[in-house]
Chains A and B, each alone.
Chain A
Amino acid sequence: MTNSVNEVLDAELLFVIGSNTTEAHPIIGNKMKQAVRNGTKLIVVDPRTTELATMADLHLPLRSGSDAALINGLMHIILREGWEDREYIETRTEGFEAVEELVKKYTPEVVSAITDLPEEDLFEAAKLYASHRKAGIFYTLGITEHTSGTSNVMNLANLALITGHVGIESAGINPLRGQNNVQGACDMGALPDVYPGYQKVTDPASIARFSEAWGVPVSDKLGLRIPEMLDAAVAGDMKVMYVMGEDPVLTDPDANHVKKAFESMEFVVVQEIFMSETAKLADVVLPAACYAEKEGTFTASERRVQRVRKAVNPPGQAKQDWEIIVAIAEKMGAEGFDFLNSEEVFEEMRSLTPQYAGMTYDRLENERGLQWPCPTLTHPGTKYLHKGVFPRGKATMVPVEYKGPAEHVCDEYPILLITGRKLGHYNVTTRYSALLDSINPFEEAEINPREAEALELVEHDTIRVTSRRGSIVTRVQITDRVKPGSMFMTFHYRESPVNELTQSAFDPITLTGEYKVSAVKIEKVEWKDEQYEDEIHRFKRLELLTH
């Protein structure tokens, strides 16, 4: 996030696009609702009628996957009406002309036809956003998980830049991070192209820095991203995968392809807290400590680094993840892994990561976390980014063309499947909480009353959902939160593994899976408990209800 969570409360306008914030980031969602209660304006762009959408001044239920056209259309209107911030564009950005040129053809008529939104609403949204200074953009999975995901993010930046909304309080461009430490994992260089602190692996200066610090030569070759790793595995070129704390078989799109990749590898090691779907395919499974058994730090979406503290001992022989890695490294004869505790790891990390250089465990303790960039021991951390100047001088705008989703509905697969999160669950871990699981014990795919009627379905009936890639069974919930012709499912349930249906068409830049849009067909089937439900969880739930 360029800005901080609590700045939401002082915003004049919130522009929420592709984020079901009250379900996926409940406390940020609460703050948005509190702000709206106190008069902040709200625009929600989402094909579903989410809780926030019901409170919005303007809800734009666009056709799924048409975000780029919508944003271009808004810029078209803003420029046509002269609502842009000329001075900001001239002093702080470059590349404006190309954007201006491209959006010329995105007239309200054209955009209305692509997005299925009335022209008046487009005009109103452009006006609201451009006319409020403290106007923040918020987005999450919805907008990045399309084949045009990264370009969507760049396009939101274009919109924010032409209106001068970056570098001021309660505004900015704010990606809400899905998992608790996505921000930190990226900051730490758990990415194929960068070292910690986003230092490029191909840059001679960073190569020199890290090979010297670590005392070994390092590769100057860009690494593979997950989908490329999996493709390489299927092709027989990838022999080993070492997985720490992720479950790609359940959470990555096109699960059958992922499974095949794992089965093709020679040696797979999975470090986990539970026997995950991925762990089942491993050669060696190592028991890891969970967050309540660890010392360390997480980095929140607002770039705030905060302490994680050990409350209990891990079960059995489980160990902290970094300790397990150290054991393997040392067995392989590596040097530079003699960390005595997590603080020593943090100290080495900050010596190599400029954004974190001024942070210590003591400071994090005494100052209730610190927001990066925090380059020196006396720096107070950074509440919002890009005040006055961008890191590279001027912000570059790149025009983004609308391309349309990779998969369309057709006669055979007439329904558009959208996937996302549910309030009570977080990926898969929360399913192991008997308490949380009892609140949302099974998938309830949302379908529109029109489809329900056509198939003679009532609440909690069972349907089979089939795409070009797979077929699964789920119970349904009938609601007009979803539009006719579309349906919604989450990826929390291994009994209804929705990623067997989703496609692996990838965003060419970040390769984020296109979870959002898949064409499916549905049919009614009979519910058979023993066949579809996960035995262990059902057992636990019964226990919970009877005691």
Chain B
Amino acid sequence: MIRITIDGIPLELEKPINLLEAAKLVGINIPNLCYSPELTPYGGCRLCLVEIEGRRMPVASCSRLAEDGMVVRTNTPQIREIRRELLNLLISNHPMDCLTCEKVGTCDLQRLCYEYGVTTPSYPYDPPDIPLDDQNPIMVRDQSKCIKCGKCVRVCREIQVSNVLEHVGRGFSSTVTTAGDRPISRDFCRMCGQCVAICPTGALTNKEFAGYRPWELKKVRTTCPFCGTGCTFDLNVDVKNNRVVGVTACEDAPINGTQLCVKGRFHTDFISSEERLTTPLIKKDGEFVPASWNEAINLIATRFGEIKAKHGANAFSGLSSARCTNEDNYTFQKFMRAVIGTNNVDHCART
């Protein structure tokens, strides 16, 4: 048993976990920009510094395991001052175009600057000359907004296991980019968008959300319709226009957590496709003619009745669907069995 105290709150731990996670257990969120519970701690942003009694220098709580007897302080005036200075350095090297940035409202840098009252950079900004990478369907990469937290590098390496992104160079001039600094392309990237989802700033943004502010969108939790893995996620809905804009992952998804593949994350434009069927169609002389529901249902009920009377129930067959819901499938087989009177019901992919 490990006993520690965080900001005066005593805590017992079964096994040694890092101080940042330990603090969460007593309801304290230590600020950070480069930590994610799913990834190897990196200790790059230094914002999660805490003081440990008996130690001269503050330590990064994400990379320090709890030890028995530790007394930890996460929010002293000195620590807050260091954080303010670190944030100041970050925004001094950042284009301050928050008014039009796509990340506004979900940007962690913005949120922390707000929390710590960091309003104006104290150092002059020298904008780097790196072109936007937007010649792919899913993301815009704006390296001028990259804070080198390396989350995208780690998510691609550790979660997607694809190693597309890497840290290049050192110090102030270092960058995070693809091998060979090539623009993102399907030739080497799985287009899963996990890097985009985890990026804390406007450096990586999801193209589907361009032009929408997050607070205008309603989230609806649902299950992916594309494979038997069963990932769950939130559809982000522009309610006014009855349109699903895109997908965001949700941490508490039981199977996939925050992970999604290209299909799960980037499929939603098919929902509002112009080619969706919108009205019943009846074929007359080889051509489909739009019809009302009444007309269509009447015709089906009549024809089903006639053919059943003439040829019997076993002249009917029904193909149910592995794409439809359980409720649809239940109702379908009940219809074939109870109304038509046949067990001729099956579905396509028997896999």
Which A residues have a C-beta under 8 Å from some C-beta of B?
5-6, 24-28, 30, 33-34, 37, 140-141, 144-145, 175-193, 195-196, 201, 210, 214, 216-219, 221-226, 229, 232-233, 237-248, 251-252, 266-267, 269, 272-275, 279, 282-288, 290-302, 304-313, 315-322, 325-329, 331-332, 334, 336-337, 339, 342, 345-346, 348-349, 368-369, 423-427, 429-430, 432-436, 438-440, 510-512, 536, 544
Contacts and interface: CB of A to CB of B under 8 A. Distances in A.
Given A298-B325, A318-B278, A312 B158 contact: no
Contacts of B159: 30, 34
B340 to A, nearest CB: 8
Contacts of A233: 317
Contacts of A288: 277
Contacts of A178: 227-228, 322, 349, 351
Contact of B333 (A189, A286, A339): A189
Nearest to B224: A180
Contacts of B231: 27
Nearest to A304: B230
B337 A426 contact: no
Nearest to B311: A239
Interface in B268-297: 268-273, 275-283, 288, 293, 296-297
A329 B324 contact: no
Contact of B277 (A244, A267, A273, A348): A273
Nearest to A179: B322
Contacts of A427: 323
B137 A435 contact: yes
Given A30-B161, A190-B332, A140 B351 contact: yes
Given A312-B272, A316-B277, A438-B137, 20 more contacts: A25-B229, A187-B326, A189-B329, A191-B345, A192-B345, A229-B346, A275-B275, A285-B281, A287-B278, A287-B280, A290-B271, A294-B325, A297-B327, A300-B228, A315-B272, A332-B301, A423-B263, A436-B263, A439-B137, A440-B186
Contacts of B331: 321-322, 325-326, 337, 339, 345
Contacts of A192: 343-346
Contacts of B333: 188-190, 195-196
Given A27-B255, A275-B275, A318-B278, A175 B338 contact: no
Interface of B: 137-138, 158-161, 186, 190-192, 208, 218, 220-232, 235, 237, 242-244, 252-256, 259-264, 266-273, 275-283, 288, 293, 296-301, 303-305, 307, 311, 313-339, 341-351
- Quick one: which of B243, B259, B276, B303 has the most chain A CB within 10 A? B276
A24 B321 contact: no
9 contacts: A185-B324, A188-B329, A188-B330, A226-B348, A245-B320, A298-B325, A310-B220, A349-B326, A423-B263
Contacts of A189: 329-330, 333, 345
A5 B228 CA distance: 11
A432 B347 CA distance: 22
A179 B339 contact: no
A178 B160 CA distance: 21
B255 A297 contact: no
A298 B225 CA distance: 8
A141 B268 contact: no
A286 B347 CA distance: 18
A311 B266 CA distance: 16
A339 B221 CA distance: 24
B228 A183 contact: yes
A252 B348 contact: yes
A342 B317 contact: no
Contact of B321 (A175, A225, A244, A312): A244
A190 B349 contact: no
Nearest to B319: A243
B326 A181 contact: yes
A347 to B, nearest CB: 10
A296 B253 CA distance: 17
B137 A544 contact: yes
B246 to A, nearest CB: 10
B326 A298 contact: yes
Nearest to A316: B278
B276 A318 contact: yes
A224 B264 CA distance: 34
Contact of A332 (B252, B266, B288, B305): B305
A25 B326 contact: no
Contact of A432 (B191, B270, B298): B270
B305 A176 contact: no
Contacts of B346: 190-192, 223-226, 229
A306 B225 CA distance: 12
A246 B318 CA distance: 11
Nearest to A429: B270
- Max chain A C-beta neighbours (<10 A), residue from B235, B332, B333, B351: B351
B226 A430 contact: yes
A20 to B, nearest CB: 12
B325 A342 contact: yes
A119 to B, nearest CB: 32
B343 A201 contact: yes
Given A229-B344, A241-B317, A285 B280 contact: yes
Contacts of A190: 320-321, 329, 332-333, 345-347
B322 A181 contact: yes
A238 B254 contact: no
B82 to A, nearest CB: 35
A319 B337 CA distance: 22
Nearest 10 A/B pairs, CB to CB: A300-B230, A316-B278, A177-B228, A223-B343, A296-B325, A26-B261, A245-B321, A190-B320, A33-B161, A287-B277
Nearest to B317: A229
B302 to A, nearest CB: 9
Contacts of B332: 190, 244, 321-322, 325
Contact of B300 (A218, A284, A304, A436): A284
B254 to A, nearest CB: 5
B137 to A, nearest CB: 5
Given A180-B230, A240-B304, A439 B325 contact: no
A185 B322 CA distance: 5
A309 B222 CA distance: 5
A325 B332 CA distance: 7
Nearest to B348: A246
A242 B317 contact: yes
A325 B335 contact: yes
Chain A CB within 10 Å — which of B237, B298, B300 has the most? B300
Contacts of B305: 332
Contacts of B270: 290, 429-430, 432-433, 436
Nearest to B237: A311
Contacts of B282: 283-284
A180 B267 contact: no
A27 B259 contact: yes
B323 A179 contact: yes
A392 to B, nearest CB: 23
A82 to B, nearest CB: 35
B304 A184 contact: no
B275 A274 contact: yes
Contacts of B266: 433, 435-436
A292 B244 contact: yes
B287 to A, nearest CB: 11
A25 B280 CA distance: 34
A217 B340 CA distance: 11
A325 B329 CA distance: 10
A224 B342 CA distance: 9
Contact of A245 (B253, B267, B323, B327): B323
B228 A182 contact: yes
Nearest to A202: B343
A196 B279 contact: no
